[in-house]
A and B are shown apart, each in its own frame.
Chain A
């Protein structure tokens, strides 16, 4: 029973990871791609790790996968934030269909 439940979690996780990868290919610019990569891949990976925890129960591997899910949840948005900010500062333009870019209007202190 727990095996089946865990496998269902892993299956859903793999599906969300797949959607994230399709997003990487189909969306037009780095910022939109980061959106797909961050959201889908974070939840997908967390669900795979949680499924592993459901299967193995409270053991070394189970606790490790829970902790890894927690770390992924905390670090992946920070990574996406750093990438998006760095890309914008480097001068990568938004996609042509973008409607507004308030971040380009500010004057930054020179480093």
Chain B
């Protein structure tokens, strides 16, 4: 129940930001739509929204944002280098790495982070195995691959979502 109320408030806030007008008709319509969506689709969302709003998790989320942005800019410079280089220096392949995360939301964030960071693209997750397309496979040892691709994000994401 608390979850549903949090979703309702989030949807309503999103509506207000998107429409950006304080008219009474607009606010009423937004409230109406938010309640309807929560009733119809609330069960589809993850269950631990309230838990994530604790201060410790929010703090780690704030740490995560600049860390992630830094890696994202690095990823772009990396792609730009490979694309503009005369020989197109790539050595691609799909590797299998392990993750210790279990929650759906944590896995989603980890997969998205891996996709947006240097040279890696999540292809599939089966249980605790992640299949990653890597544009330059620098090592053939699975443990090193896990250390290079997963561990740098896993430690922070674990503190936010698990």
Which A residues are closer than 8 A to B by beta carbons?
Answer: 16, 19-20, 22-23, 26-29, 31-32, 34-36, 38-40, 42-44, 59-60, 63-64, 67, 73-74, 77-78, 80-81, 84-85, 88, 94-95, 97-104, 106
A110–B68 Cα gap in the complex (Å)? 37
Q: For B23, what are the chain A residues with a Cβ–Cβ distance below 8 Å?
A: none
Most chain A C-beta atoms within 10 Å of own C-beta, residue among B18, B79, B119, B122: B79
7 closest Cβ contacts across the A-B interface? Answer: A77-B115, A100-B93, A102-B96, A60-B20, A77-B112, A23-B83, A99-B93
**Once the chains bind, are B115 and A26 in contact (CB under 8 Å)?**
no
- Say whether A99 contacts B79, CB under 8 Å: no
Binds A, one of B2-10, B39-47, B123-131, B147-155: B123-131
Q: Which of A31, A39, A44, A77 contacts B133 (CB under 8 A)?
A: A31
A80 touches B121 (CB 8 A): yes
Q: In the complex, what distance in Å separates the CA atom of A88 from the CA atom of B131?
A: 11
Q: Report the separation of the CA atoms of residues A28 and B158 in the bound assembly, to the nearest whole angstrom.
A: 36
Tell whether, in the assembled complex, residue B72 and residue A43 are in contact, meaning their CB atoms are under 8 Å apart: yes
Number of interface residues of B (CB under 8 A): 37
Q: Which of A34, A43, A64, A100 contacts B94 (CB 8 A)?
A: A100
Shortest CB-to-CB span from A18 to chain B, Å, is 9
Q: Which A residue's beta carbon lies closest to that of B111?
A: A81
- State the Cβ distance, B45 to closest chain A Cβ, in Å: 14
Question: Which of B27-35, B52-60, B84-92 sits within the interface?
Answer: B84-92
Chain B nearest CB, measured from A99 CB (Å): 4
Q: Could you tell me if B90 and A97 are in contact, using CB atoms closer than 8 angstroms?
A: yes
